[in-house]
């Protein structure tokens, strides 16, 4: 099986030993507390689940600036996006041991315990620099930039021990999986070559066929459909609706035992190319050998070029930094000429009208009106689930 990123063994920061975890939970109640923001809580969940291997906790300012500028830590570990605990709180001293409380669960239970190694102030200029490097913009309307610039100016770094997986394990018991669990399941299937498909949206015909194309082209043993379960921007479809629609599609249209449907507990960054590389890092930690990277992967609006998330792997990812490889996809659509879904680059003789193309806005309007998109665009079983959701929202 493919090795995790940066180490021989996966280093998940969740405390798996029940006795040790129970003792830490008792200790935490007597420790000073910090209520995390959602971004820092999501980072803790990802660290606990092994997705951010080999990190042992939150980054300090030197590593943050190095990762933003050069895509590696001061010690030389390849890493594309700073993993931070930024806060508005002050007065936490280096050397402190604190309980990190969950902002996304009622009662704010303890999510993790942190050994604070450094407490550093981050200037507005440094925040702007990091935003520019990670998001390629400081535009105040970019949802990732808005979130990042509002997290605070005090940076707490240090190792953590994770006690639970926030709301993800309870709200999505059939879908949320840690990197440890995914690797175990891949081993159980006996799969060697595994292709990961990232999604924050329901899967339409084009996505379905893209997975099939990648699996066939690479002669892969299976597909990992890996959906983001955390916070999205307003207007995006909730995780439970996406989950139901994806499961229906896989149940009906894929052969048994060829697709794993899973999810991970992270908030969407909308960081385009940098986030695509982060996706590659933690899919390698899951045991995947390939990641599908399509047009505007992890993008939003018009902030990134259509293929920037692919070219970053050529221009900024050093040779050998990752063992995982990417599968480069073009825009995929149903061809009326060929009566099948194709990558548009593979149909040079086609005009725009030769494809079934619908904007996201038009699809949402149709679903809200109770009108199913054409079957060439969306499977009817999937469309029904989405229509039910949009109509329930409108009522």
Look at residue 22 and tell me whether its pLDDT is greater than 90. Answer: yes
Boundary (domain end) residue, out of 169, 186, 219: 169
Look at residue 360 and tell me whether its pLDDT is greater than 90. Answer: no
**For residue 79, what are the domain limits?**
18-169
User: What is the rounded CA–CA span in Å between residue 358 and residue 209?
Assistant: 17
The pLDDT value recorded for residue 168 is: 96
Whether 287 contacts 2, CB under 8 Å: yes
The pLDDT value recorded for residue 357 is: 87
Residue 387 lies in a domain: yes
The pLDDT value recorded for residue 92 is: 96
Question: Same structural domain for residues 333 and 350?
Answer: yes
Spacing of C-alpha 205 from chain mean position? 22
- 103 φ/ψ angles, rounded to the nearest 5 degrees: -80, -10
- The whole-chain average pLDDT of the chain stands at 95
Look-up of token digits 């997290």: 151
Question: Same structural domain for residues 265 and 335?
Answer: yes
Residue 93 lies in a domain: yes
Whether 284 contacts 2, CB under 8 Å: yes
We report the CATH number of the domain holding residue 298 as 3.40.50.620
Joined tokens for residue 157: 């770094």
- 181 φ/ψ angles, rounded to the nearest 5 degrees: -65, -40
Q: Which run of H or E residues covers position 25? A: helix 18-28
Question: Same structural domain for residues 165 and 178?
Answer: no
Boundary (domain end) residue, out of 130, 145, 169: 169
The pLDDT value recorded for residue 238 is: 87
Question: Same structural domain for residues 152 and 97?
Answer: yes
The pLDDT value recorded for residue 365 is: 85
Longest dimension (CA), the chain: 69
pLDDT-derived band at 393, boundaries 50, 70, 90: confident
Looking at the annotation, which residues are catalytic?
200-201
**Of residues 200 and 219, more confidently modeled:** 219
User: What is the rounded CA–CA span in Å between residue 84 and residue 102?
Assistant: 15
Residue 384: C-alpha distances to residues 63, 115, 205 (Å): 47, 49, 14
We report the CATH number of the domain holding residue 58 as 3.10.400.10
Count the neighbouring beta carbons within 10 Å of the beta carbon of residue 117: 15
- Tens of pLDDT, residues 170-184: 999 999 999 999 999
Question: Same structural domain for residues 221 and 180?
Answer: yes
- Tens of pLDDT, residues 210-256: 999 999 999 999 999 999 999 887 778 888 999 999 999 999 999 99
Question: Same structural domain for residues 210 and 135?
Answer: no
The partner residues of 372 in beta bridges, in order of sequence, read none
> Given the DSSP bridges, would you call strands 290-293 and 194-199 parallel, antiparallel or unpaired?
parallel
Instruction: Give the number of domains in the chain.
Output: 2
User: What is the rounded CA–CA span in Å between residue 72 and residue 183?
Assistant: 25
Q: Is the peptide bond before 54 cis (omega within 30 degrees of 0)?
A: yes
- Tens of pLDDT, residues 311-328: 999 999 999 999 999 999
Question: Same structural domain for residues 158 and 183?
Answer: no
- Burial (CB < 10 A; 0-12, 13-18, 19+), residue 340, is exposed
Joined tokens for residue 302: 């018009």
Question: Same structural domain for residues 120 and 216?
Answer: no
User: What is the rounded CA–CA span in Å between residue 292 and residue 284?
Assistant: 12
Residue 362 lies in a domain: yes
């Amino acid at each position: 099986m493919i090795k995790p990123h940066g180490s021989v063994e996966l280093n998940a920061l969740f405390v798996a030993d029940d006795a040790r975890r129970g003792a830490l939970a008792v200790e935490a109640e007597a420790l000073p507390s910090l209520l995390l923001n959602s971004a820092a809580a999501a980072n803790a969940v990802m660290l606990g689940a092994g997705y951010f291997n080999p990190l042992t906790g939150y980054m300090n300012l030197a590593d943050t600036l190095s990762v933003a500028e050069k895509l590696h830590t001061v010690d030389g570990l390849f890493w594309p996006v700073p993993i931070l605990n930024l806060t508005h709180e002050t007065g936490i001293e280096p050397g402190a041991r604190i309980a990190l409380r969950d902002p996304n669960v009622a009662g704010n239970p303890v999510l993790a315990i942190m050994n604070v190694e450094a407490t550093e102030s981050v200037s507005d200029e440094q925040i702007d620099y990091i935003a520019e490097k990670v998001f390629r913009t400081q535009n105040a309307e970019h949802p990732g930039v808005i979130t990042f610039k509002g997290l605070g100016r005090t940076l707490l770094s240090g190792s953590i021990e994770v006690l639970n997986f926030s709301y993800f394990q309870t709200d999505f018991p059939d879908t949320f999986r840690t990197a440890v669990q995914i690797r175990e399941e891949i081993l159980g299937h006996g799969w060697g070559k595994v292709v990961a498909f990232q999604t924050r949206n329901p899967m339409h015909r084009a996505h379905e066929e893209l997975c099939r194309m990648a699996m066939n082209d690479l002669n892969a043993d299976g597909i990992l459909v890996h959906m983001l379960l955390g916070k999205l921007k307003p207007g995006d479809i909730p995780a439970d609706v996406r989950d139901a629609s994806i499961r229906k599609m896989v149940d009906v249209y894929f052969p048994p035992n060829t697709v794993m449907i899973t999810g991970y507990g992270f908030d969407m960054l909308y960081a385009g190319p940098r986030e695509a590389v982060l996706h590659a890092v933690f899919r390698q930690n899951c045991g995947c050998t390939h990641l599908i990277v399509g047009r505007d992967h992890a993008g939003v609006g018009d902030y990134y070029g259509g293929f920037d998330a692919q070219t970053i792997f050529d221009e900024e990812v050093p040779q050998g930094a990752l063992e995982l490889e990417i599968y480069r996809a073009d825009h995929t659509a149903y061809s009326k000429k060929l009566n099948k879904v194709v990558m548009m680059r593979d149909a040079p003789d086609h005009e725009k009208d030769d494809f079934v193309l619908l904007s996201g806005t038009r699809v949402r309007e149709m679903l809200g009106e109770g009108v199913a998109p054409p079957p060439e665009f969306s499977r009817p079983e999937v469309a029904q689930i989405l229509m039910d959701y949009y109509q329930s929202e409108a009522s």
